[in-house]
Structure 1
Amino acid sequence: MKVAVVLLLFAALLSACGTNKSGNMDHMDHSTHQGAQAESVSTDSINAIWKLSSDKPRSKQDTAIHIQIQDSQGKAIGKFDINHEKQMHLIVVNKDLSYFNHIHPDYKGNGQFDITTQFPAGGEYKLIADFIPNGMGATTKTNWITVQGDAAKPAGITPDSNMTKVVDGKEVTLSMDQLAPGKEANITFNIKDAATKKPITNLQQYLGAVGHVVIMSADAEQYLHVHPTEEKATGPDAKFMTSFPKSGIYKIWGQFQHEGKVITVPFVVKVP
């Protein structure tokens, strides 16, 4: 009896020691075309070293961003899987989520990714590197930076009452299942020509799929990169599936390509 008690206590101690107590990890959802979550790896095992060409980057000026990916021992990670035609997706948003950019750094080898971009105004920006080290799971690493220059007028993040938007001549309507925290939800974008109201049935592949969706919580802490359930669809519907980690307000950006041009359409929703 005493031996059994000792073994139980030892097992409990091992379980407690193996618990990840990090509270700073962003929520990651790299939803596959079947709607399931891809395996994610602990941020403790992979590090990202961020370097900018200036300690005080300025708005409307070129800023080079260097991202060095290495393991917990400081050794460069050399191989990365291709994920929707790219080895890294870099999402850039400002603090109130009024600015969004989805760009792709070039891989220079030995764990280093480089890209040059501009920020439209002064203020705080979050950089989100989304990648898959070879043999590991989907990973995101983030970094907040402050950009010098005149700040844009703050924009509120309030849920949309009208779920139809017109962007670049396209009328896009968003429909969703009833939302609830932790519950899988279908998300559908219906795309028409804004002038003729005719359904668009010849959407082009964008990064190997009918479209891509990025979702972030209003505080920019929860991040979801969602892929379509039917990657080879051509419209007028582009369907996705994901789950929202908790209640709150989220901004959704859908990205699609038509006649050689990528359109980005934003929506704001509330998860009860």
Structure 2
Amino acid sequence: MKRKMMLILTGILVLGLLSACGTTKENDHSGHNVTNQNHENSASPSAGHGEHGDHDTKEQPADSLKASFSFVSGTVIANGKSDLDIQISDSDGNTVNEFELNHEKLMHLIVVSKDLSYFNHIHPEYDSNGKFAIETSFPNGGEYKVFSDFIPKGGASTTLSEWVKVEGEEKAQELIEADAKLVKVVDGKEVELTLSSTKANDEITLTFNILDAQTKKEISDLEQYLGAVGHVVILSDDAEQYLHVHPMHEKATGPKAEFMTSFPKSGTYKIWGQFQHQGEVFTVPFVVDIK
């Protein structure tokens, strides 16, 4: 009887251990299905680093950092050289002194006219005490918007902007309308743009296909421009939505250059693609409607 009872108890113990081992093995697989997502840092105006190396910066109201744009001469006159200072500080007015390289530069400065017909991508030099400086000029009188794009040390990608008034003769404003055909010829290059989607908030791939305009041969020897095959800047027609997008494959050499982004809302947007070939940087603009 005792032997029978011992056999029964041993059987129950073995079944219990097998059941416990099965549960442990099942739990070992939990927690490994991880989705890689982009996150915006609420403490900074803009942020985002995706798994493909793309980089969007979306302008939002600044909480922790501020930029002061000032011209040394006080008054800016069209076609004249002007010294522009950009002072970066925190919300308490303390200067921000340390910055990280972002595609070979401490700051990218984008300048556009109100109708987006003028575009300039330049790089101020860091002076000291949170101040950047650059000499620039404006082709006509009127309103321009300047965007400073930088990364404070240990922080996220940040974009701060301001409208500036330029004195001088103003030209007629151009309408910002979507292109009927997304093919442009610039500096002897024929560039075609395709979008994988035209819906707001979709993850969209922008593909630039670059050919020689005369021979129609594919250009496959694009050079690195600021550490990448190209750069893309996107603005909404009111210049309120700003995206600076880096390529999915930075070391690509053409003829295709792909960029991944997302348009924050429906509307009309202007896209500038910038590339380098045979030592020369060329900029190709497109206007698209996003639904």
By how many angstroms is 1:34 displaced? Answer: 3.4
Q: Percent identity?
A: 54
Q: Using the alignment, how far apart are the partners of 1:38 and 1:98 within structure 2? A: 21
C-alpha displacement of 1:249: 0.1
Q: Is the Cα contact below 8 Å between 2:69 and 2:85 reproduced in 1?
A: yes
> Is 2:113 aligned against 1:82?
no
Shift of 1:155: 0.5
Structure 1: segments with no counterpart, 5+ residues: 1-19
Q: What amino acid does structure 2 have at the position aligned with 1:222?
A: Q
Amino acid across the alignment from 1:89:
H
Per mean C-alpha deviation after superposition, the further-off stretch among 185-194 and 43-52 is: 43-52
Show the counterpart of 1:258. 277
1:16 aligned partner: none
Alignment partner of 1:132 is 2:145: no
What is the one-letter code of the residue matched to 1:191? I
Task: Give the drift of 1:47.
Answer: 1.3
Listed as ranges, the gaps of 5+ residues in structure 2 are 1-41
Deviations, residues 224-268 of structure 1 (Å, cap 9, x unaligned): 000000000000000000000000000000000000000000000
Matching residue's letter, 1:270: D
CA spacing shift, 1:123–1:154, aligned 2, 3 Å: same
Partner of 1:96: 115
Q: Normalising by the residue count of structure 1, what TM-score does the alignment of the two structures yield?
A: 0.87
Give the superposition deviation at 1:56.
2.2
CA deviation after TM superposition for structure 1 residue 39, in Å = 10
* Count of residue correspondences: 248
Residue from 71, 83, 104 that aligns with 1:52: 71
Deviation string, structure 1 residues 52-76 (Cα, Å, up to 9, x no partner): 1233200000011101111122111
1:219 lines up with 2:238 in the alignment: yes
Q: Which residue matches 2:170?
A: 151
The residue type equivalent to 1:96 in the other structure is: D
The separation in 2 between residues aligned to 1:53 and 1:224, in whole angstroms, is 29
* Equivalent residue letter for 1:62: K
Partner of 1:243: 262
Match of 1:119 among 110, 122, 138: 138
Cα pair 1:30 1:224 within 8 Å, conserved: no
Q: C-alpha distance in 2, partners of 1:144/1:60?
A: 18
**Are 1:206 and 2:225 counterparts?**
yes
Give the aligned partner of residue 64 of structure 1.
Answer: 83
Give TM-score, length-normalised by structure 2. Answer: 0.81
CA distance in 2, matches of 1:263, 1:39: 24
In the alignment, the residues of structure 2 paired with residue 222 and residue 181 of structure 1 have an alpha-carbon distance, to the nearest angstrom, of: 12
Change in 2 beyond 3 A, CA 1:42/1:130: same
The one-character-per-residue Cα deviations of 1:164-190 (angstroms, maximum 9, x if unpaired) are 100000000001112111111000000
Distance (Å, rounded) in 2 between the aligned partners of 1:229 and 1:254: 14
Higher strand share: 1
Choose the corresponding residue for 1:108, options 127, 141, 155.
Answer: 127
* Structure number with larger C-alpha Rg: 2
One-letter amino acid matched to 2:155: M
- Regions of 4+ moved over 4 Å: 28-33, 36-42
CA RMSD, 1 decimal: 2.0
